[in-house]
Structure 1
Amino acid sequence: MTFTSQKWSYGYDSAQNLVKRTNNTTVETFTVNVLNQLTLIPDSVPSYDRRGNLVSRVASGNIPWKELYYSYDHENRLTCVQTDTYYTPESYRFKVEFVYDGLSRLRIKRNYIWSGGGWYGSGGETRYLYDMSAGGAAGMLIVQERDGANWPTVTYTRGRDLSGTVDGAGGIGGLLARSHGYSSGSWAYHNFYHSDGNGNVTALADSGGTLQASYIYDPYGRYLTGTGTLLTSNVMRFSSKPWVSFLGTSATSGLYYYGYRFYDTYLQRWVNRDPIPISATMNLYAFAQNSAYLYRDFWGLSDELDLPFGPRFTTGNPLNPINCEQLEALIMDLQRNAVGHELYGAWAKAYLEQLLDIWDDYCDDDHGDSECPAVGPAPVPQLQPSPAVFSSSSLRNAPSWSLPWQQPCLTATGSMIIVGGAIIVIECWLNPINGPLPP
């Protein structure tokens, strides 16, 4: 699969609203009101109801998938998405309905097609089954899909990922395998998921290792290109979440279902407000604090730190664990030099949150010892870099090493370690308070 490289940049207002998106030389602008609701997007004009739900995107002219209408129930759950009925050809017209259970889980998706002047349900029906033992909040993880006759069509195998948990390696729900071709109590075909550091599904391979599907996304999950026989039929993709497609099995039009809200990758935001009205964020439509590579949202309720390319640490027993004094110095340096930095501020803020949690648990006087140990092994910071993130190759072929703070700086002012194209470490680890960030 060939793919032309793309360079993305984004502009936001003071309330975390996307106002400008640039892909190479293509510039798109977005306009919002004081309620953080979109009022103008490329090719269409959005509108909202009094409860803050996106109800329409009205386009200029016959532009497929640009003009959409949304309906919600009294719980503000999305119940229908459809186009207008004047699109030509008729294949541009679609309607999708959603049915939920008492736990607000999506249970049924019905696809309708337009024929003879009306909507007909021959577009197919998908029923979703959940397993309480599969992990997640109140059994929110889909483990099987069935058709309208209740016949099993797809089942999902979930379990521990490389982190030893169902969520620690970036994805959500420990998604391991997809099986289809059910007959006489068994499944004929099994394919296995491969994900990037953020848990985004990038490929499926069969038991022989043959690639059956591959995906490339933009930084916020919009599908760019892909290949393979399971490209469209597989729906578990960005953040390991199900892609609820429009127009049958289209790979490019649809929404991601997160459990309590739907996420629009084109708009880079949720289609409606946070169901918890008192939120820690100033913008109730913002997705993952506009930093999908640093944060993830499990169910559409709140985001949390996810550092697949950052300095993720694992509990271990290194020979020289970092002590509270070193941790305090690193926290002070981030607060002084990094958090407000134009280029590295988002990374530093996310990393700082993690370090402060460690400090509260192990080093704060209110949590145990009256004085933190200054040298030698400490009762916390029993931390070592995860080999999957830190390696000698990550340090631009620097000598092999075990702990970053034991190494000399790569430059006079600090180090800049790059993994997968993402800057993950900025500062001299030998003495965290020894110098400013690189310019």
Structure 2
Amino acid sequence: MAMPNLDASVPPASDSKKILGVRPNVFYLGLTSFFTDISSEMIFTLVPLFLANVLGVAPSVIGLVGGVSDSTEALVKIYSGRLADRLRRYKALSIAGYGLSTLGKPFMYLAGHWTAVLGIRFADRLGKGLRTSPRDALIAVSIEPKERGRSFGLHKAMDSAGAFLGLFIAATVIYLTQRGSVDLTQDTFRLLVVIGVIPAVISVVILAAMVKDPQRAARVEVEKTGLRDTVNGMSRDFKLFLLVLGIFTLGNSSSFFAILRAQNLGNSVLDVTLMLVVFNITYMLAATPAGVLSDRLGRRTLMMIGWGIYAAAYLGFAAAGASWHIWLLFAVFGVYYGIVEGVAKAFVADLVPPEKRGTAFGLYHGVLGLLLLPASLIAGFLWQEVSPASPFFFGAALAFLAMLGLRVLVKPARPA
């Protein structure tokens, strides 16, 4: 049986039907991510400080918690994307994933040991792994090729706007409860959990009520092949892109360490939270323009620029010696994320045929997540045994190597 052309599955919409310049599905999926990130930033961003300040956990264990949960997410993303390609039920899988994450969040209120935190993060990342690849495939199938950069960029901008608002609320709660205290308290963290569950529920409601699943076709026989055969059938450039992405990711340790670095230089919990607000402002402001620019100049060029900014930021984290350095570095770090996150997903959509996009997004997210475990373990070891600056020197070196690999090895054609 011939595969349907998923690019043509959604009739072109008139501009009057668009919201903020994108198709309704893209907007409402962005709104879902907006409310989800309000919740996640309030509850999970301060987990490294909760582990270190409240539970007294060592940096190596914090790296383990971050790495294991992210790797779990990655494994699920690989197979959720493939399942989405087979069943064409992108929305249903997305709802299941967002719902699972929402159900797990209230249990952070009761967490009293690092293993409990690991279990809750495992459930949250399991949900994220289940939803992310089908959601990204749903965005790709809802738009035309010329809209990819703008659509993925706006989605990431709305995602980051939610993170900004979540962190702003968290900063307000911290200011009202413990002001300039260096360490996070258990009572403050529990209050953040209680408030943070509300937007998580709202996000699931928006997804269920407003997002339309454009594909109602039955599963396609040609997709009943092994994962290895499916990967082998993908383009050389896609596989080389995964290779250089893996090199980069091995030095891209959990963001837990950037947060710990900020506290390591004497910043209070409130300061760290506000730094993350600055990070998300620059992330939000950079994401949509970067996506639009990639539609014109090409994804590879934008990704190389983004990885170069990342390397500069990591060198800055390594060399930082004052609080204001960290404020500036979090702003620069946000620019990197704003450039790369949406553009990389549009790049994946460029490199693979329409019928394999769910699987391709799963593999993309899988490489990111699976290598975060060794990356975080390496960073934890370097922090503990060498110096707090050493994980950042290591990450910067691998970023430069990945930039070179992207420039030399991956030479994609312009998207249709």
With a CA cutoff of 8 Å and minimum separation of 6, indicate the structure with the bigger relative contact order: 2
- Structure with bigger gyration radius: 1
Bin the TM-score by the shorter chain.
under 0.3
Going by fraction, where is helix more abundant, 1 or 2? 2
Q: TM (normalized to structure 1)? A: 0.21
Structure in which a larger fraction of residues adopt strand: 1
**TM-score under structure 2 length normalisation:** 0.22
